[in-house]
Amino acid sequence: MNKLYILGNGSFAQEVFEQIIVANQVKNFGGFIILKNDKAFCIGEEGAEAFTYPPEAQLILGTANPQWRTQFYNHFLGYYELNINHWPNMSAPNSYQSLSSTVGIGNLFLMYSLVNANTQVGNLIYYVRTHLLVLIVQ
């Protein structure tokens, strides 16, 4: 089974964990990933250990800090192609995306976020309470 990892371990990553992993009852959660001296470590149920870059890993950018988002993005693009298999779109149960909207990859839709009709959403964007907060790649 493919493991799903949250990139980051701060307060925003904890929100993502609660709103996406717990609320959706995700069974394949692999842990939180941090970068230290350009090395990735996974913090899971057994503690912290070096991340092994499993080929089928799925990643969620779980930090609101633009510099850290860029560091994670640049680091993991060296290991994982920018596609929906590795960078899935994830939604909290009470978010809404219109069926007529177009959504890229790696997007995060948290509680009460709304994507209206005919909206185009790029890649690696996160929405919180209907406000667009960060855009890295379109």
Tell me how far apart the alpha carbons of residues 93 and 64 are, in angstroms, rounded to a whole number: 21
User: For 50-91, what is each residue's pLDDT tens digit?
Assistant: 999 999 999 999 998 999 999 999 999 999 999 999 999 999
Domains of the chain in sequence order: 4-77 (3.40.50), 94-134 (no CATH)
Tell me how far apart the alpha carbons of residues 98 and 114 are, in angstroms, rounded to a whole number: 8
pLDDT bucket at 125, cuts 50 / 70 / 90: confident
Please give the pLDDT value at position 81. 95
DSSP 15-59: HHIIIIIITTT-S-EEEEEEEETTEEEEEETTEEEE----TT-EE
Flag whether pLDDT at 37 surpasses 80.
Answer: yes
- Is-above-0.85 flag for pTM? yes
